[in-house]
Amino acid sequence: MRFAALGFTLGVWLLQHRPELPGAGWLALYFAFAAIAGVGFSRRVSPIVAAGGAFIGFAALGFAWAAVLAELRLSDRLDTALEGLDLPVSGVVAGLPQAFERGVRFDFDVESPETGVPRRIVLSSYRGFAPDDSQGVLPVRAGERWRFTVRLRRPHGGANPHGFDYEAWLLERGVRATGYVRMPSRRAGDEGAQVPPERLAARVPRYWIEGFREAAREKIRGALPEHPYAGILVALAIGDQNAIDPGQWQLFARTGVSHLMSISGLHVTMVAGLLAMLVSWCWRRSETLALALPAQKAAALAGFLAAFGYCLISGFAVPAQRTLYMVGVVAAALWFGRATSASRVLAAALFIVLALDPWAVLSPGFWLSFAAVAVIFFVATGRAASPHWLAQWGRVQWAVTLGLAPLLLVLFQQVSLVSPVANALAIPLVSFVITPLALAGAVLPIDWPLALGHAILVILMATLEWLAALPSAVWHQHAPLAWSVPLALAGIAWMLLPRGFPARWLGAPLMVPLFAVSPPSPGAGELWITVLDVGQGLAVLARTEKHALLYDAGPAFNAFSDSGSRVILPYLRGEGIDSLDALVVSHDDRDHSGGAGSVLEAMPVRVLWSSLAADHALLAANAWRAPCVAGRKWFWDGVSFEFLHPRAEIASGRAARANNLSCVLRIEAPGGRVLLTGDIERAAERELVLRAPALLPAEALLVPHHGSATSSTPEFVKRVAPRLAVFAVGHRNRFGHPREEVLARYREAGSELLRTDSGGAIQLRFAPGNLRVDAERVRARRYWHESSSGYTPGAEKPA
């Protein structure tokens, strides 16, 4: 069973990394191979051969099974002809509505769709567009049936190295389109085809669980109004992780206790164990019940039902699923009187999770959950001696911290060094005190458990904040190279062997490459340019051998999130960049400066170049500040940097906030020249053509103002004559960028066009003699990504 589960996991994982799904012929071949391996390597052969056959056969089975389910899910897609049209749909609010700064967002199961509309979609309704013409949000509740007019689009998210794959996340949840609710126009004579939203039914019976979860959430919020940690109690009771503030999530990540603030396996085990013990105690006191069914079997059934119920109200996340299936395997073994080892229980749970949800391997929670339990089993079972419980507890905490380090570095590029202390305190409090109180307060008609749970949380959070403030609380580093992770895991397993095994210290050298081997970086005289995919905005990283410059920092999405924290910082940390030599904020526009605050707060920046007004909030940052006036020039590692615009005499005052005052930066390396132009428009382009025509020609041009019709004049395009024209644009953006007439000008100039909306992050690597171009949606394509245009990975062209 163990080798079969591991093989099945490998097959599923391999399928999820494919750029395309295999055809029907290949699927038939994989299923046939799995059947042959299962028959040919039976127990009649040696155990080693049988284990190998099981591993190979189930790997083929896992690959084929995941491919079949993927094909079925992808077949439920939005017709491209329906994108952007007004569509009438009716269905049921299928999840907890989530309020955000401008409205409310919710899952919606479509029951009577237009042809070509998927079964599950995500809709947003924006504040100020409620049907009663008020400034409130649409009053949707979980389990209600509604009729809407909506505009939809296929799933699409940013594609960046070390970034979050939004499209994969939607695929795992079964969401095949996103959109928003349309309201009738308020202008006279402009009603159009939209009809107002209409509630058709207050409750749909089969969605009663979602209705119960929402009622529990509202009860907790009502009992603890304006309490800072009420959202944590909501998350612990019903699994609504959106209830926790982003700042609190950062604290949990820094102290390594994030796993406790959602429905973890430990919580499910606690609920199952408590009910099983209660049923066993009561059952043994009834002679009639004990004769009808042994108390052990009754307790096993009660424990499984308790775990199942808790998983239902918590949203059925992967850690909860894993624990439910483990509890189910143990309960079945007790019911049938068959003992089973811990490793077999874990293997069975692994197999069931992936058979039901093969996309679980895309979730960090899957790997961390199963890895943590595997480490605990490894160090806590099969040992000759039974240490004191306190020593065993400390050993388990140390083992989990060490064992999960490689995965945490791969997934998040950080490891909390205070997590053993934080977890030693938080695990018993959260699992055995706060979570039971949260559950009791959510389901019982009393509020005092919630008040008590919040009071305990206040003390716990204060302690976690103190730990997080320690100067060495977190280890940050680059993303490990793929080959170093298996070595490190093998070394950790060797180090955690029972006392008495010889030379356990030899496991430590196997971990060295995980920390010591850095990702590739530019060589002497090379210039690497990365135009990140931040939607409708701009963020460009320029790297030389020993220096890094960030040109603009993308948009701010809301009060709590921006492209600096979501895109730029994960990319910088993944590449091993822990400081910036320069940050250029080209001008005061939200889609260029919105993420700069997060970058300045998170890492050291030596100099901040900008055209910002003197009273701008960003200029209060702890960095040397200077205006980006024309003529400023410097050299890094054989590469020259020079500002071409704006002129010194007009780079101040109100005009500094205009597009035409954007910092224009020219970068020249032995392998070629790059021109970064911000949002300059016709006037600034005309001035550059007249004032510095000899400095404009470039191999690569960041097209001004995202390809707006107000920029890229014929004279400017002709003078720059770029071989590569890079458009930083958002997918289906409301401005219509880039304009078709602008695209035509660059085509006529012989430029090759690159777009972040279709290609993701664009990477240009200038080296003497050649230019390498990569588009992230091509380099790291997966079968669920929409078809994209761009260069073939590794394409090299003469410089």
pLDDT tens by residue, 134-172: 456 788 999 999 999 999 999 999 999 999 999 999 999
pLDDT band at 402 (very low <50, low <70, confident <90, very high): confident
Compute CA distances 427 → 327, 415, 555, 656, whole Å.
20, 18, 38, 53
Number of other CB atoms surrounding residue 546 within 10 Å: 11
- List pLDDT tens digits, range 453-467: 999 999 999 999 999
- List pLDDT tens digits, range 9-18: 999 999 999 9
pLDDT of the residue at 376: 78
- List pLDDT tens digits, range 513-528: 999 888 999 999 999 9
Residues ≥6 apart with Cβ < 8 Å to 625: 607, 608, 610, 619
Under DSSP, the state recorded for 316 is -
Q: What percent of the chain has pLDDT over 70?
A: 90
pLDDT of the residue at 272: 82
Number of other CB atoms surrounding residue 388 within 10 Å: 8
pLDDT of the residue at 333: 77
pLDDT of the residue at 614: 86
3-state SS of 7-44 is HHHHHHHHHCCCCCCCCHHHHHHHHHHHHHHHHHCCCC
- List pLDDT tens digits, range 648-695: 876 444 444 478 999 999 999 999 999 999 999 999 999 999 999 999
- As a whole number of angstroms, the distance between CA 268 and CA 319 comes to 9
User: 3-state class of 681 per DSSP?
Assistant: coil
- List pLDDT tens digits, range 765-786: 999 888 999 999 999 999 999 7
pLDDT band at 280 (very low <50, low <70, confident <90, very high): confident
pLDDT band at 792 (very low <50, low <70, confident <90, very high): very low
pLDDT above 90 for 340: no
User: Taking the mean position of all CA atoms in its chain, how far away is CA 207?
Assistant: 28
Q: Which of 362, 12, 359 is nearest to 164 (CA)?
A: 362
User: Averaged over 386-408, what is the pLDDT?
Assistant: 76
Q: Convert 451-479 to b/e letters by CB count within 10 Å (16 or more is b).
A: eebbeebeebbeebeebbeeeebbeebbb
Beta strand 795-798 with 770-775 is: antiparallel
User: Averaged over 385-411, what is the pLDDT?
Assistant: 77
pLDDT of the residue at 10: 93
Q: Using an 8 Å Cβ cutoff, are 220 and 234 in contact?
A: yes
pLDDT of the residue at 557: 86
User: 3-state class of 252 per DSSP?
Assistant: helix
Whether a cis peptide bond, with omega within 30° of 0, leads into 646 is yes
- As a whole number of angstroms, the distance between CA 435 and CA 236 comes to 6
pLDDT above 70 for 1: yes
- As a whole number of angstroms, the distance between CA 476 and CA 415 comes to 7
Query: Across the chain, what does the average pLDDT equal?
Result: 86
Least confident residue range of 94-98, 182-186, 557-561: 182-186
Output the six-digit token pair for 624: 């040397």
Amino acid in position 629: V
pLDDT of the residue at 609: 94
Q: Using an 8 Å Cβ cutoff, are 409 and 420 in contact?
A: no
pLDDT of the residue at 378: 80
Q: Residue 765 — φ and ψ, nearest 5°?
A: -120, 105
Strand residues in 176-254 grouped as ranges (E): 178-182, 198-201
Q: Residue 756 — φ and ψ, nearest 5°?
A: -75, -25
Q: Convert 407-439 to b/e letters by CB count within 10 Å (16 or more is b).
A: bbbbbbbbbbbbbbbbbebbbebbbeebbbbbb
- As a whole number of angstroms, the distance between CA 641 and CA 590 comes to 25
Model confidence, pTM:
0.88
pLDDT above 70 for 791: no
Nearest-Å Rg of the Cα atoms of the chain is 29
Of residues 377 and 647, more confidently modeled: 647
- List pLDDT tens digits, range 723-778: 999 999 999 898 999 999 999 999 999 999 999 999 999 999 999 888 999 999 99
Using left for φ > 0, alpha for ψ between -120 and 50, and beta otherwise, residue 643 falls in beta
pLDDT band at 277 (very low <50, low <70, confident <90, very high): confident
3-state helix vs strand vs coil in the chain, percent to 5? 50, 15, 35
pLDDT above 80 for 133: no
pLDDT band at 793 (very low <50, low <70, confident <90, very high): very low
Output the six-digit token pair for 59: 């790997």
Helix 47-75 with 342-356: angle, nearest 10 deg: 30
User: Averaged over 328-352, what is the pLDDT?
Assistant: 78
User: Taking the mean position of all CA atoms in its chain, how far away is CA 75?
Assistant: 24
Q: Using an 8 Å Cβ cutoff, are 549 and 542 in contact?
A: yes
pLDDT of the residue at 365: 80
- As a whole number of angstroms, the distance between CA 371 and CA 379 comes to 12
Of residues 711 and 791, more confidently modeled: 711
- Give CA angle at 577 (572, 581), nearest 5°: 105
- List pLDDT tens digits, range 225-273: 989 999 999 988 888 888 888 889 889 989 988 877 766 666 777 788 8
Q: Using an 8 Å Cβ cutoff, are 351 and 325 in contact?
A: no
pLDDT band at 414 (very low <50, low <70, confident <90, very high): confident
pLDDT of the residue at 387: 65
pLDDT above 60 for 789: no
pLDDT band at 390 (very low <50, low <70, confident <90, very high): low
Burial classification of residue 500, based on how many CB atoms lie within 10 Å of its CB (0-12 exposed, 13-18 middle, 19 or more buried): exposed
- List pLDDT tens digits, range 581-596: 999 999 999 899 999 9
Q: What percent of the chain has pLDDT over 90?
A: 48
- As a whole number of angstroms, the distance between CA 404 and CA 375 comes to 9
- As a whole number of angstroms, the distance between CA 347 and CA 370 comes to 10
pLDDT of the residue at 135: 53
Beta strand 414-416 with 178-182 is: unpaired
User: Averaged over 60-67, what is the pLDDT?
Assistant: 92
pLDDT of the residue at 341: 74
- As a whole number of angstroms, the distance between CA 523 and CA 527 comes to 8
Give the containing element (helix H, strand E) for 408.
Answer: helix 389-412
Q: Using an 8 Å Cβ cutoff, are 347 and 370 in contact?
A: no
Amino acid in position 324: L
Least confident residue range of 38-52, 365-379, 500-514, 662-676: 38-52
- List pLDDT tens digits, range 471-527: 888 888 899 998 999 999 899 888 888 877 778 888 889 999 999 888 999 999 999
Beta strand 752-755 with 548-551 is: unpaired
pLDDT above 70 for 185: no
pLDDT above 60 for 41: no
pLDDT above 60 for 384: no
- As a whole number of angstroms, the distance between CA 529 and CA 123 comes to 36
